[in-house]
């Protein structure tokens, strides 16, 4: 179950996770049920670059992204301004965040999550360093740092340096796993990266410290995940644990906002809960649902 009932799904800042906020390029605020409150997003992919093409992706790639490499100095400046606008109550007074009240005044986390895959950015570690520096300078000792990733770049040395630095400052990795078989993975995530590579990278990361697996379950042209695929998915989770990977919990969620593919639709809360129950029974893992 979603453990944050105080967050109202109808709030504008929950329904609209747009990356556009004022004149910022790299940072944006959202109220996130998975974060349990206000999350400051760090978009390392204003260029919309991703090596997945998930059926349910909310990023509208019909319009081009912004060109150019990520500028860590500018990222730091923008994040500082956004943190201060939260602290001074300016964000909570905007039309979009007013109804969230006190929730819009407490930064729960800073999340690398944007219009593409953050681990594809060549200067990932430099970006982490800047974010950590702002976190420290602004006294955000309680805020977590979260990397939301499709796992494709978790084996890159620069990314590993960044994750190591994050881990020393309340960092977590939330790795995507939406399938149990190569075939279903290709239908859902539409990537050329083999599923085995994703699993290897998740294992590599989870062997060092616990990770969160985040999985989106939905209906494709009317059909939910087939039962055999659910079992294969559980096999993959078990395989990660058998290989020495530590999984803190699984976040099971479904389509929450309109997607460019109209045939990708949400499961009901009961359907998602039934899936979560099966995953709990099969794997013994804690599973939180976000319907
Ligand atoms: S990995 Fe994320 S950004 Fe990339 S296509 Fe999938 S949902 Fe979109």
CATH code of the domain containing 232: 3.20.20.70
In angstroms, rounded to a whole number, what is the distance separating the alpha carbons of residues 212 and 145? 13
CA of 72 to the centre of ligand 1 (A): 22
- Coil vs helix vs strand at 191: coil
Q: State residue 257's pLDDT score.
A: 81
- Segment 194-207, tens digit of pLDDT: 999 999 999 999 99
Q: State residue 3's pLDDT score.
A: 44
Q: How many CB atoms lie within 10 A of CB 94?
A: 16
Give domain status of residue 21, yes or no: yes
Q: What domain range includes position 182?
A: 12-290
Q: State residue 174's pLDDT score.
A: 98
Label residue 17 by pLDDT band (50, 70, 90): low
Give domain status of residue 119, yes or no: yes
Give domain status of residue 169, yes or no: yes
**Are the C-beta atoms of residues 247 and 227 closer than 8 Å to each other?**
no
Q: How many CB atoms lie within 10 A of CB 234?
A: 18
Give domain status of residue 3, yes or no: no
Residue 52 beta carbon below 6 angstroms from any ligand 1 atom = yes
**Ligand 1, closest atom to CA 53?**
5
Give domain status of residue 190, yes or no: yes
Best residue among 17, 46, 57, 61 to mutate for probing ligand 1's pocket (most ligand atoms within 8 Å of CB) is: 57
| 164 closest CA partner among 153, 173, 176 | 173
User: How many distinct structural domains can be found in the chain?
Assistant: 1
Percent of the chain at pLDDT exceeding 90: 82
- Average pLDDT for the chain: 93
* Stated pTM of the model: 0.93
**Residue with the nearest Cα to atom 3 of ligand 1?**
116
The token pair at 11 is 């709030």
In angstroms, rounded to a whole number, what is the distance separating the alpha carbons of residues 258 and 273? 21
Residue 38: enclosing H or E segment and its boundaries? Answer: strand 37-42
**Are the C-beta atoms of residues 153 and 200 closer than 8 Å to each other?**
no
**Residue with the nearest Cα to atom 8 of ligand 1?**
57
Give domain status of residue 7, yes or no: no
In angstroms, rounded to a whole number, what is the distance separating the alpha carbons of residues 291 and 289? 6
- Coil vs helix vs strand at 248: strand
CA 62 from centre of chain: 22
CA 242 from centre of chain: 25
Best residue among 45, 51, 52, 264 to mutate for probing ligand 1's pocket (most ligand atoms within 8 Å of CB) is: 52
| 198 closest CA partner among 233, 166, 230 | 233
- Segment 221-261, tens digit of pLDDT: 999 999 999 999 999 999 999 999 999 999 999 998 888 88
Residue 109 beta carbon below 6 angstroms from any ligand 1 atom = no
Give domain status of residue 6, yes or no: no
The DSSP secondary-structure symbol of 149 reads: E
Which residues share a beta bridge with 110?
Answer: 40, 145
Give domain status of residue 148, yes or no: yes
**Ligand 1, closest atom to CA 45?**
3
């Amino acid at each position: 179950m979603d453990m944050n009932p105080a967050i109202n799904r109808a709030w504008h800042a929950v329904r609209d996770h747009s990356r556009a906020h004022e004149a910022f390029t790299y940072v944006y605020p959202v109220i996130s049920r998975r974060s349990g409150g206000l999350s400051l997003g760090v978009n390392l992919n204003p260029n919309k670059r991703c090596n997945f093409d998930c059926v349910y992706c909310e990023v509208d790639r019909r319009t081009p992204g912004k060109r150019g490499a990520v500028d860590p100095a500018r990222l730091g400046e923008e994040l500082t301004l956004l943190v201060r606008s939260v602290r001074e109550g300016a964000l909570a007074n905007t039309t979009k965040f007013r109804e969230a009240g006190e929730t819009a005044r407490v930064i729960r986390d800073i999340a690398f999550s944007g219009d593409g895959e953050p681990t594809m950015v060549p200067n990932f570690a430099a970006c982490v360093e800047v974010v950590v520096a702002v976190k420290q300078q602004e006294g955000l000792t309680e805020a977590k740092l979260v990397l939301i990733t499709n796992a494709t770049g978790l084996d890159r040395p620069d990314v590993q340096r960044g994750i190591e630095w994050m881990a020393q400052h309340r960092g977590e990795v939330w790795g995507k796993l939406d399938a149990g078989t190569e075939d279903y993975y290709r239908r859902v995530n539409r990537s050329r990266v083999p599923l085995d590579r994703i699993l290897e990278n998740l294992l590599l990361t989870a062997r060092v410290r616990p990770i969160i697996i985040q999985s989106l379950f939905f209906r494709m042209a009317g059909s939910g995940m087939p039962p055999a695929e659910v079992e294969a998915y559980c096999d993959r989770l078990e395989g990660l644990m058998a290989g020495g990977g530590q999984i803190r919990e699984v976040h099971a969620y479904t389509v929450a906002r309109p997607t460019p593919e109209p045939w990708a639709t949400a499961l009901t809360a009961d359907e998602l809960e039934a899936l979560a129950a099966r995953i709990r029974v099969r794997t013994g893992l804690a599973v939180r649902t976000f319907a």
